[in-house]
Amino acid sequence: MRSVAEATARELFAPLGPTYDRYARLLSFGQDPRWRRFLVSRVPSSALKVLDVATGTAAVAIELARTVPERTVAGVDQSPEMLAAGRARVERAGLGGRIELREGRAESLPFADGEFDALTFTYLLRYVDDPLATMRELARVVRPGGVIAMLEFDVPRGVWRPLWELYVRVGLPLAGAIVSPGWREVGGFLGPSIRSFHARVSLEDLWREAGIADVHARRLSLGGGVVVWGVRA
């Protein structure tokens, strides 16, 4: 059974599959693709079997496969609509033989213990009811010593915080409204979602409690994004 947070995410983002990558890039001032590339750079080239959770339109899965020609990637997402856009993108990239996308939930992954050499996920933990239980489930399917890496929005600090607040309160909803009604809803939703999540969750503490060691975090683009990575203990 899907949580309220999961249902909200699916309702908001499912209709946006065909335009998601284009406008995610635009509304992040071109930073979203750069963040995703840095996320992928945290996965060692020795990781030849990788799982990408909340894969969406498969942007990270494709980057993972392109980075290491011998690598195979499985992608999981709860949204059939986003997966349809992802499969089309994978085929256009000529990577259908190395990337498999399937519907599934991060809280209950359809894979065996330790099945993957590494795991990535993007913009996931804000949409689950129990982030710690979800992190433990993600770690379960990674072999001991395998890397887990995450990309999430962050809240800038210091002088950049008021500018971020202005953008998420005013600029982002207005920019989304110019694009479409669906993007207007996303623009109004993201600021409160990001702000409330980081107010209640310490990502590095959460990861360590989930049994992930050697945890690192890199804040990107003046603190607008954060990549966290560590090793399955």
Percent of the chain with pLDDT over 70: 91
Report pLDDT for 5: 61
pLDDT category at 53 given cuts 50, 70, 90 is very high
The helix or strand, by DSSP H or E, that contains position 145, with its residue range, turns out to be strand 142-153
pLDDT category at 128 given cuts 50, 70, 90 is very high
User: Which of helix, strand or coil describes residue 232?
Assistant: strand
Helices of type H across the chain: 4-13, 20-27, 31-41, 59-67, 80-92, 131-140, 160-166, 172-179, 181-200, 203-209
pLDDT in tens, 203-218: 999 999 999 999 999 9
Residue 148 has pLDDT above 60, yes or no: yes
Report pLDDT for 205: 95
Domain ranges of the chain: 4-155+201-232
* Residue positions counted in the chain: 233
Comparing 169 with 38, the larger pLDDT belongs to 38
pLDDT category at 172 given cuts 50, 70, 90 is confident
Side-chain half-sphere CA neighbours of 112 within 13 A = 3
Sign of the torsion formed by the C-alpha atoms of 219, 85, 100 and 79: positive
Contact present, 52 and 59 (Cβ < 8 Å) = no
Sign of the torsion formed by the C-alpha atoms of 138, 143, 144 and 150: negative
pLDDT in tens, 68-126: 999 999 999 999 988 999 999 999 999 999 999 999 999 999 999 999 999 999 999 99
Residue 141 has pLDDT above 90, yes or no: yes
Residue 4 has pLDDT above 60, yes or no: no
- What is the mean pLDDT of the segment spanning 148-168? 93
Domain spanning 4-155+201-232, CATH architecture: 3-Layer(aba) Sandwich (3.40)
* Rounded-to-integer distance, Cα 26 and Cα 176, Å: 10
Report pLDDT for 14: 66
